[in-house]
Structure 1
Amino acid sequence: MRPAVAALLLGLVILLWGANWPVMKVGVELMPPVTFAAARMVLGCATLFLVAAAAGQARLPSRHDRRIVVWVGLLQMAAFVLLIALALQIVPAGRSAILSYTTPLWVLPMAMLVLGERLTWMKGAGLVAGLAGVAVLFNPAGFDWGDRGVLLGNGLLLLAALAWAVNIVQVRGHRWEGTPLSLGPWQALVASLVLVPAALLLEGGRGIDWSGTLAAVLVYNGPVSTAFCFWAMVTVTRALPAITTSLGTLGTPVVGLLLSAWWLGEPLTWTNLTGLGLIGSGLVLVALSESRGLGNRRPGSGRG
C-alpha cells in the first residue's frame, strides 16, 4: 500500500475508533453491558475469521504463540472491552475515551521493571505530563469524590487501561511466529469464550431493547470497529513509520471527546480539555522517545 493511501486509511481508523465511544455509550443503554461486550466480540471474531480466510491466513497458532494469544484475548480484548462497557454506564463517553488512552503511561514503569527498558529524559517528561493530566481529571473542582458510582466508573476505566498495559508489556517480550491477522481471530475467540458465559450467567434474565439502532450499534462495534479497524491498523503499521502510527492514534480520544459533545450533548469542560492536552502531550513525548531507538530495550525484548 502506498504511504498516501495508508495515511488516509489511518485517518479513517482514527475517526471510526473515536466515533465508537458515543456509539458504545448508546449500546450500553440499549443492552446490558456484559451482554453488549460479548455480542461485540462474537461479531468481531466471526468477521476476523472470514477476513483471515479470505487472505489465506486462517490457521492455528503455533505452539510458541498460543500462550500469548490467550493473554491477549483475556486482557486486551475480554477485560478491556468488558471494563469499558461497565464504565460507560456511569462515565461520559468523552471522558472515558481520555482515561482509556492513558495506557502508554502505565506501560512505561512496567516495561522498566520487567523488560529492563531505560528511562530517558523525554519519557520521564512524558510520564510527568501524563500523570499531571490524570491529576487534573480527578481534581476536586471537576470530579465528585463523594459519589461512589462515579468513583467506580472512573476506576474501571483506569483498570481497563492497566490491563491493556500489562498485555502490551507481555507482547513486547514475545517473539511472534504468526502474523497479526492470523492470530487476531483466535484472540477474539478466547475473549468470546470468556464473555459469552459471563453474559449468560450475570445477565441472562435482563431484557434487551431490540431496535434498528441497536442493530446498527452492534454492526459498527463488531465488523467495523473490531474487525475492519484491526485489519486496517495491521495494514497501516506495515506501510507507515511507527512514529506516524503512534502519534496518529492519539487523535482517537480527541475525536471521541468532540463527537460525544456533538452527538450526546456532553459538555466540553476545561477539566477534560486540560487533562486531554496534558495526557496527549505526555504520550507524544513517550512516542517520540520510542521512535529514536535509543537502545532502551534489552536484546530479545522486541515486538517480534
Structure 2
Amino acid sequence: MKKHVSSAWFLLVLVVVIWSANWPIMKIGLRSIDPWGFTVARLAIALVAISILLLCMGQFKRPHKQDLPIVFSVGILLFAAFVIFIHEGLAHVNAGRAALLSYTTPLWVAPGAYFFLKEKITRFKLIGLSLGLCGLIILFNPLSFDWGNSEVAKGNILLVMAAVVWAASIVHVRSHQWQGSVLSLTPWQILVALVVVLPLAWFADTRPTQWSGELVLILLYNGMLATGLAQWASMRITQLLPAVTVSIGFLLVPVAGILLSSIWLGEPFTVVLATGMALIICSLLFQINWRKFKER
C-alpha cells in the first residue's frame, strides 16, 4: 500500500505539470478553434489513443455491469461537462484566472467527502484546507471582475461550475467499488462524453477553424496528454489518496498555471498572486504531512 501511495504522489506531480502547462496552451488554441470543436477534437484524439494502447496491451474489454455507474458519471461530469465548461470559460477569461476558478474544487469536495465518504477532517487536513482556501480568497477577487461584461460574467460562472462537477466526480470515484481498472474504463467514459457532446456541438454557434501546425500540436497535446494520460492519472490518484488531499494537491495546477500564463501570455503577475500561491503551497505541505506528525 505504501508503494501505491508513493506512486500516487508521483502521478500527482505528472498531472500538475501536464495540466498547468495546458492552461496557456488551451488559451492559444482557442484563438483558432471554437470551444465546442476543441472539446470534440480532444475527446476523439484521447479515445483513439487510449483504445490503441489497450488493444496493444490486450486489455481492451467491455466494462463490467457494476462499473456502468462510474462510466456514465465520469464520462458526463469529468470528460464532457468539465471540459466544455473550461473551454467556454477560458474563451472569455484570462488563462491564469481561469485555472484558479476551475480549481476551487476543495470548496465543494470537503463537504462531499465528509457527508458521503465519511472521511475524517483531521487537524492537519483542516489547517491545510484553511490555508488553501485563504489563498483562493486572496486570488479570487470578485471586485476585479468586469461584471458589466456579460461574456466575462458567463466565463467566470462556467469555470466555477467546472469546479463543482469535478468535485462531484472526485467523490464518486472515491466511493465506487471498481471491478475493472481505471485505464480499461477510460475509453468507455470518453465515448460517453462524445455521445453527449457531439449533438450539442452540432447545434452550437461555432466559428470556422483556422488550421495550422500549431493547432494540430495543441490538439494532440490536449487529446493524448491532458485528456488521456492526465485524466487517467487523476482518477488513479483519487483511488489511492483521500478526496480532500487530492483536491488540495491539484491546487498546484492553478499556481503553476498562473506563472506559466504570465510568462507565455504576458498576463500580469502581482504581489497578491504571489501571496495567494504561497498559502496554497503551504496548504499542500500540510496535506502531505511533510514531517509525518501524528494527530493527537
Q: Same fold (TM over 0.5)?
A: yes
TM-score range, shorter chain: 0.7 to 0.9
2: CA distance between counterparts of 1:36 and 1:79?
13
Which structure 2 residues correspond to residues 51-200 of structure 1 after superposition, within 5 A? 51-139=53-141, 142-200=144-202
Q: Deviations over 1:156-200 (max 9, x none)?
A: 111101101011111222110100110011111111111121111
Find the counterpart in structure 1 of residue 276 from structure 2. 275
Q: Aligned AA for 1:72? A: V
- Using a 3 Å threshold, how does the CA distance of structure 1 residues 282 and 100 change in structure 2: closer, same or farther? farther
Whether the 8 Å CA contact 1:35–1:203 is kept in 2: the answer is: no
Q: Percent identity?
A: 44
Q: Residues 104 and 140 from structure 1, CA distance in 2 versus in 1: closer, same or farther, beyond 3 angstroms?
A: closer
Structure-2 change in CA distance of 1:254 and 1:138 (3 Å): closer
- Given that 1:99 and 1:158 are in contact with CA atoms closer than 8 Å, whether structure 2 keeps it comes out as yes
Residues 18, 256 of structure 1: 8 Å contact kept: yes
Per the alignment, do residues 161 and 288 of structure 1 end up closer, same or farther by CA in structure 2, a change over 3 Å counting? farther
TM-score by length of 2: 0.84
User: 1:112 offset after TM fit, Å?
Assistant: 1.4
Q: Determine the C-alpha separation between the residues in 2 that align with 1:257 and 1:188.
A: 28
Summarize the Cα distance change of 1:156–1:288 in structure 2 as closer, same or farther, 3 Å threshold: farther
Structure 1 CA distance for aligned equivalents of residues 245 and 279 of structure 2 = 20
Cα deviation for residue 5 of structure 1 reads 10
Greater Cα offset, 251-260 or 184-193: 251-260
Structure 2 counterpart SS, 1:52? helix
1:266 aligns with 2:267: yes
CA distance in structure 2 between the aligned counterparts of 1:172 and 1:5, rounded to whole angstroms: 17
The separation in 1 between residues aligned to 2:11 and 2:134, in whole angstroms, is: 32
The equivalent residue for 1:228 is 229
Measured in 2, the distance between the counterparts of 1:293 and 1:171 equals 27
TM-score for the superposition, normalised by structure 1:
0.82
What is the match of residue 211 of structure 1? Answer: 212
**CA–CA distance in 2 between the matches of 1:258 and 1:184?**
31
What 5-or-longer segments of structure 1 have no aligned partner? 295-304
Q: Which amino acid aligns with 1:216?
A: L
On the 8 A contact 1:105/1:130 being kept in 2, the answer is: no
The superposition leaves residues 54-87 of structure 1 with CA deviations (integer Å, 9 ceiling, x where unpaired) of 2222111100001111000011111110000011
Q: Summarize the alignment of residues 10-25 of structure 1 with structure 2, pairs less than 5 Å apart.
A: 11-25=13-27
Distance 1:246 1:81, change over 3 A: closer
| Distance across 1 between alignment mates of 2:129 and 2:14 | 28
- The AA in structure 2 aligned to 1:252 is V
Are residues 236 and 71 of structure 1, via their aligned partners in 2, closer, same or farther at CA, if it must alter by over 3 Å?
Answer: closer
For the residues of structure 1 that align with 2:101 and 2:142, how far apart are their CA atoms?
17
Deviation of the 1:24 alpha carbon: 0.6
Are the aligned partners of 2:170 and 2:238 in contact in 1 as well (CA < 8 Å)? no
Calculate the aligned-residue CA RMSD, in Å.
3.6
